[in-house]
Chain A
Amino acid sequence: MVIGRTIAVVGAAVGLVVALGGSATPAHANNEGFRIFGSAGAESLLTPANERSSLNPGNVGGVHYRTASGDASIFMEQVPKSRKWKARIKVRTDGTERAGSRVEVGEALLQRSVTSWLDLSAGRIIDRWGTGYAWNPTGFVSPRKNPSDPSDRRSSNRGLDMVRADLFVKGTNISLYGLRGGATAARAYRLVRGTDISLHLFHNERGTRAGVSVARVFGDALELHGEVARSDSASTERDGAVVSAVAGGQFTFRNGTNMVVEVFHSGEGLSPAEWEQFQNVATKNDAASLLAANHSYQPLKMGREYAFVRLAIPQGGTGIDWEVVSIINLGDGSGLVRGMATLKLRQSVSAYLIDTEFFGGTGSELSYIQVRRATTIGVRLWF
């Protein structure tokens, strides 16, 4: 029912755009003219309650064992052969059996090539900064990343409203941003002797953030990357400047297996005193404390040091693709392991099974999680 309603909304949006497009070319055409692509999916999520968590004793939070959901994202682009301008819109709809459905414009932008060295863009734009796989401390204008799903499987990210100028000057790219609320940002990028180097700057009424990100390939299989970001005290909840950093790499084996390893230091994670305070609130036996603790609990964002490992084993188009992700809080040893198996039913249809298991000793970050595990069974269609 929900899935049907979701797909109906997307279908209506597609019909509208095709009607407006008039001279729309077929969907398989290249990036000139009108083109349309996207995906739709249906999932069933199984989440047995973790009644041993002090945030959900006796499943007081009412965690549902099964939740069905559907989503669809559609991208539409118009680019003339001259490539002088481009219009792009991303419409996304999703729904669950309990929360109903919603429609959202994730991106809507107009882009103009003013000269051979200047592009201007305006609208809602998804623009991601940084080189990290699971974390991007320099992602000052980026949608917040979920490290356990860095590739945004359901295309749920939403852009920021902005105007942007991209300058291409003698091998250096400079992007200048004006964002809603008076914030400004800038990024400069240059490839220096095979190394990607970017400088990042962001300023709003709360303060200034600055950072640098790098990436480089060594030989034919190893890529290393890193990011460091510094936020002044006004732009965070902390006293004094906050520094966050990620360092990592990825290695590709001859059989196509790909491994990513990262370590992350979060300057915005809780201090030992703050963590102790959270634990004190979480273990009190009154409703107000329970609500407050649940409100402040943000798994995988409360620690200061984390490690991330991802192993992807592709089998090509004829078998099952395997992916295993593990994230560990290096401070207390708690974490999660997520396994994913994807079976390509057809070239444009995949079925997948994802299981996430949590581990950690009493009082560790992940021991508070309100569910014992999360198992997702889904199917996704690309068009």
Chain B
Amino acid sequence: MKRMLVLATMVASLSLSLYADDAAAILRRVDQNRNPLNSFSVDVELTSLSGAKSQTSRFRVLGKDADKSLVEFTAPEGEKGKFLLMLRDGMWIYLPSASRPIRISPLQRLMGQASNGDVARTAFTVDYTPVSVTEEVLDGVPAWVLDLKAKSSGIAYDRVRLWVNRASSEPLRADFYVASGKLIKRALYREYGQMSGRRMLTLVEIDDLIRPGERTLMRYSNLSARDNADKLFTRDSLGKW
């Protein structure tokens, strides 16, 4: 009986481990699909919609090694000259009026319902660990459902449920939960198009579930490979280049 229990435990552990491995492999493919380039530049346009009103901001994002991002604010006029640096260990903003980098927390948002990480990060694996994977059909599309857990308490969302197209490994939808367990935001990965010679994600819709009717459209364009120097991704370089 004892041997059987040990055997059962071993089999269960093995299957759980294989499942976790599967989830990690799926998440890696999702990130690869979102951005296959190691050092890149991409333009991001955010349109925040609230009732009949809308507001648009534009950014250029320079990235390297999945966990280094530099966001330059390019529009509207009042935002020009601002920069956001996001590294694995922290986040800083540079304001022309302050002329120095300022340490900020993940909740200090760029605009609308988009968090800093939504704009600056193009990879889930930097901030999240997959803890389980299940299967589901979402709007007629067979999908993997990954349960992701934040790697540290400094991440804006403690848990993410991510629906992934089983055939293409492209993300379909993500639900974002805060530490209390409350679902506060939903991202719908709406459109894919050609960028840098391959099929890429081009439009994400972010819905605020706390304030229904408020949503943000995040449109990507001009993704290109680019050799970004390491010193660009240092706090002391912020605003200098």
A residues bordering B, Cβ < 8 Å?
A: 27-31, 35, 37, 39, 75, 79, 83, 86, 111, 113, 116-117, 119, 121, 126-131, 142, 150-153, 155, 157, 166, 168, 173, 175, 189, 191, 193-194, 196, 215-223, 225, 250, 252-254, 256, 258, 316-318, 347-348, 350, 382-383
Contacts and interface: CB of A to CB of B under 8 A. Distances in A.
A14 B136 CA distance: 59
Given A128-B98, A193-B89, A347-B55, A223 B103 contact: yes
A382 B107 contact: no
Nearest to B236: A173
Q: Which of B74, B178, B235, B236 has the most CB of A within 10 A?
A: B236
Which 6 pairs of residues, A with B, have the shortest CB-CB distance?
A317-B55, A382-B78, A128-B100, A382-B77, A173-B236, A348-B77
Contact of A117 (B87, B99, B231): B231
A382 B108 CA distance: 23
Nearest to B56: A347
Contact of A222 (B80, B105, B231, B240): B105
Interface in B40-91: 48, 50, 53, 55-56, 58, 60, 72, 74-78, 80-81, 87, 89-91
A157 B99 CA distance: 10
25 contacts: A28-B75, A86-B240, A111-B240, A113-B241, A116-B229, A119-B231, A121-B240, A127-B100, A131-B102, A166-B240, A175-B236, A191-B90, A194-B90, A216-B103, A217-B154, A218-B154, A220-B105, A220-B153, A256-B109, A316-B48, A317-B55, A318-B55, A347-B56, A348-B76, A348-B77
Contacts of A258: 108
Given A30-B72, A191-B89, A316 B55 contact: yes
A142 B156 CA distance: 33
A194 B102 CA distance: 14
A51 to B, nearest CB: 35
A219 B98 contact: no
B168 interface: no
Contacts of B78: 39, 347-348, 350, 382
Given A225-B103, A318-B53, A318-B55, A152 B154 contact: no
Contacts of B155: 220
Contacts of B107: 220-221, 252-254, 256
Nearest to A35: B80
B9 interface: no
A196 B72 contact: no
Given A111-B240, A196-B90, A350-B78, A31 B72 contact: yes
B130 interface: no
Query: Which of B107, B111, B237 counts the most chain A CB atoms within 10 A?
Result: B107
Contacts of A193: 89
A221 B50 CA distance: 25
Contact of B81 (A28, A75, A129, A189): A75
A216 B76 CA distance: 30
B97 A316 contact: no
Interface in B205-231: 210, 229-231
Contacts of A222: 105
Contacts of B89: 191, 193-194
Contacts of A29: 74
A166 B235 contact: no
A97 B193 CA distance: 57
A275 to B, nearest CB: 32
B25 interface: no
Interface in B141-179: 153-156, 178
Nearest to A151: B97
Given A30-B60, A196-B90, A347-B76, A215 B103 contact: yes
Contacts of B99: 126-128, 157
A317 B53 contact: yes
Given A31-B241, A155-B97, A219-B154, A173 B103 contact: no
Given A31-B60, A173-B235, 16 more contacts: A75-B96, A86-B240, A86-B241, A131-B102, A151-B95, A153-B97, A191-B87, A191-B89, A196-B90, A215-B103, A221-B107, A223-B104, A225-B103, A254-B178, A256-B109, A347-B76
Contacts of B134: none
Contact of B105 (A27, A83, A153, A252): A252
